[in-house]
Amino acid sequence: MKTFNYHSAKDVKEASKLASSNSAFLAGGMTTIPSMKLGLASYKDIIDIKRIKKLTGIKVSGKTVTIGATTKHSEVASSKDVKKAIPSLAALAEGIGDPQVRNRGTIGGSIANNDPAADYPSACIALNATIHTNNRSIDAEKFFRGMFETCLKSTEVIETIEFSIPEKSSYQKLPNPASRYAIIGVYVAKHKTGINVGVTGAKSCVYNDKDLAGALTKNFSSSAIDSVKISSSGMNSDIHASSDYRANMVKAFAKKAVDAC
Partner 1 sequence: MKKIVVEVNGKKVSKEIQDHTTLSGLLRDILNLTGTHIGCDTSQCGACVVHVDGKSIKSCTALAADLDGSKITTIEGLASNGKLHPMQEAFKKMHGLQCGFCTPGMVMSAVDLLKNKKNPSDQEIRDWLEGNICRCTGYHNIVAAVKEAASKM
Query: In this complex, which beta carbon is closest to partner 1, that of residue 240 or of residue 251?
Result: 240
94-133 residues near partner 1, rule: CB under 8 A: 97-101, 103-104
SS3 content of the chain, % helix, strand, coil (to 5): 35, 25, 40
Draw the binding track, 55-94, toward partner 1 (x: CB under 8 A; -: no contact): -------------------x--------------------
Tell me the C-alpha distance between 67 and 70, whole Å.
Answer: 8
Query: In this complex, which beta carbon is closest to partner 1, that of residue 99 or of residue 194?
Result: 99
Across the beta sheet with 64-68, what order do the strands follow? 58-60, 64-68, 158-164, 130-133, 137-139
Start-to-end CA span in the chain (Å): 45
Draw the binding track, 139-178, toward partner 1 (x: CB under 8 A; -: no contact): ---------------------------------------x
Shortest spacing between CB 28 and partner 1, in angstroms: 9
The region of 29-37, 82-90, 114-122, 127-135 touching partner 1 under the rule CB under 8 A is 29-37
Query: In this complex, which beta carbon is closest to partner 1, that of residue 50 or of residue 132?
Result: 50
> Which residues are 235's β-sheet partners?
none
Instruction: Tell which residue, 212, 204, 214, 210, has the closest CA to residue 243.
Output: 204
Instruction: Tell which residue, 207, 163, 161, has the closest CA to residue 185.
Output: 207
Shortest spacing between CB 31 and partner 1, in angstroms: 9
Contact call for residue 1 and partner 1 (CB under 8 A): yes
Query: In this complex, which beta carbon is closest to partner 1, that of residue 38 or of residue 239?
Result: 38
Classified as helix, coil or strand, 197 is strand
Shortest spacing between CB 26 and partner 1, in angstroms: 7
Instruction: Tell which residue, 222, 209, 215, has the closest CA to residue 260.
Output: 222
8 Å CB contact between 135 and 144: no
Query: In this complex, which beta carbon is closest to partner 1, that of residue 8 or of residue 64?
Result: 8
Q: How many CB atoms lie within 10 A of CB 179?
A: 13
Which residues are at the interface with partner 1 (CB under 8 A)? 1-6, 8, 26, 29-30, 33-34, 36-38, 46, 48, 50, 74, 97-101, 103-104, 178-180
